[in-house]
Amino acid sequence: MTIWKKVFRDPIFHFSLIGGTLFMADIYSGDAPDQIRMIEVDQAQIEWMKSASEKEVGRLPTDQELESLIDNFVREEVYFREALAMGLQREDVIVRRRLVQKLRFLVEDVATAQPPSDQKLRGLFNKMQDNFQEPARYSFSHFYFRNTRKDARSDARQSLDQLQFLAKQAKANKSTANNATTDEPPKQWGDSFMMRYHYVNQDQRQIANNFGGSFAASVAGLPAGQWRGPFKSAYGWHLVKLSDKRDSYIPDFDEVSESVLAHWHQQQRDKANEEAFARLQKSYQIEIHKTQES
């Protein structure tokens, strides 16, 4: 009953109900004289007008301005009710959708008004841990060989041989110096690239967005600390060195508590809407007439 109490207090629902009633009364009354239709402006509505005016202009309205606000409200109310009585809302898709949306929001507000306990959220987290799993992340560097070369793939392979040779020499000499790790790679290792040469903590989706799915899958399968390739991307060919990989993991509840709360809110909204629609649908007879195909 709580949901419907809040729905019935909402002005739009109230106006729609009154408008529909008036419309039906007009249909069945024939030439009967118009009945008195009450428009009541109570103190709560006046206080709302004053508050709204204060937020808009930075001060409370004067007595004269308040009278004008009330007059405008009454004017709008009359036109609004008459429009509903004439069924004009049925001809306007935007108004129709807004009214539907408003009713859905009212149902959802009631469903999420009471915040969940920490125990309930932890229980939800335990049931939905896979939804909060952090993906594996990769840090890597690359050299780029554009497709406009005569044979970009072959050039990349030759450069890879040189890089691997230098890496062996550096290891043998116990040296950490390697030009291939600088921010601006020497030209003999490839072409200039429009984006970055080094990427940090990227998941496969992010890598795929920049380079394509096949390239992302190749990076995910690389051993760390070695130049490999060539791998094709949307731009050309690349030599890639994976420097670090963070495995996928499920975070602690405290790390994702806000996300868990967001999931809970969405679940409650969906459930409330489905239950409300199921109850409302029972009061309607629904007939769907389709034109038979020849």
Closest CA to 267 of 112, 155, 135: 112
pLDDT at residue 11 is higher than 80:
no
| Residue 75 structure tokens | 């004017």
Position 100 confidence tier, pLDDT thresholds 50, 70, 90: confident
Name the pLDDT band for 82 (thresholds 50, 70, 90): confident
Two structure tokens written together for 253: 């509840």
Is the pLDDT assigned to residue 185 strictly greater than 80?
Answer: no
Tell me what pLDDT residue 183 has: 40
**Structural Rg of the chain based on CA atoms:** 33
Residue 1 has pLDDT above 60, yes or no: no
238-285 tens-digit pLDDT:
999 999 999 999 999 998 999 999 999 999 999 998 888 888 888 878
Instruction: Compute the average pLDDT of residues 191-212.
Output: 94
User: Does 212 score more than 80 pLDDT?
Assistant: yes
Runs of H (alpha helix) within 91-201: 93-111, 118-127, 152-172
What percentage of the chain reaches a pLDDT higher than 70? 81
Least confidently predicted of 13-17, 74-78, 233-237, 253-257: 13-17
Virtual torsion, Cα 282, 287, 288, 294, nearest 10 deg: 150
Once rounded to an integer, what is the mean pLDDT over residues 87-103? 83
pLDDT band at 293 (very low <50, low <70, confident <90, very high): low
Split at pLDDT 50, 70, 90, the class of 31 is very low
Partners of 199 in beta bridges: 140
pLDDT for 33 beyond 60: no
Cα distances from 246 to residues 10, 51, 126, 205, in angstroms, run: 52, 53, 23, 15
pTM score of the predicted model: 0.55
Report residue 294's pLDDT band, with 50, 70 and 90 as the boundaries: very low
Q: What is the spatial distance between Cα 14 and Cα 18, in angstroms, rounded to a whole number?
A: 6
Q: Which CATH architecture has domain 134-246?
A: Roll (3.10)
pLDDT band at 169 (very low <50, low <70, confident <90, very high): confident
Please state which of the ranges 83-92, 113-122, 174-183 shows the lowest mean pLDDT: 174-183
Q: Give 219 or 175, the one with higher predicted confidence.
A: 219
Q: Binning pLDDT at 50, 70 and 90, where does residue 156 land? A: very high
Whether 77 and 12 have beta carbons less than 8 Å apart is answered as no
Q: What is the pLDDT of residue 10?
A: 54
Whole-number pLDDT of residue 4? 46
Q: What is the pLDDT of residue 262?
A: 92
Domain extent listing, the chain: 2-111, 118-127+252-276, 134-246
pLDDT tens readout for residues 170-184: 777 764 444 444 444
pLDDT of 124 > 50? The answer is yes
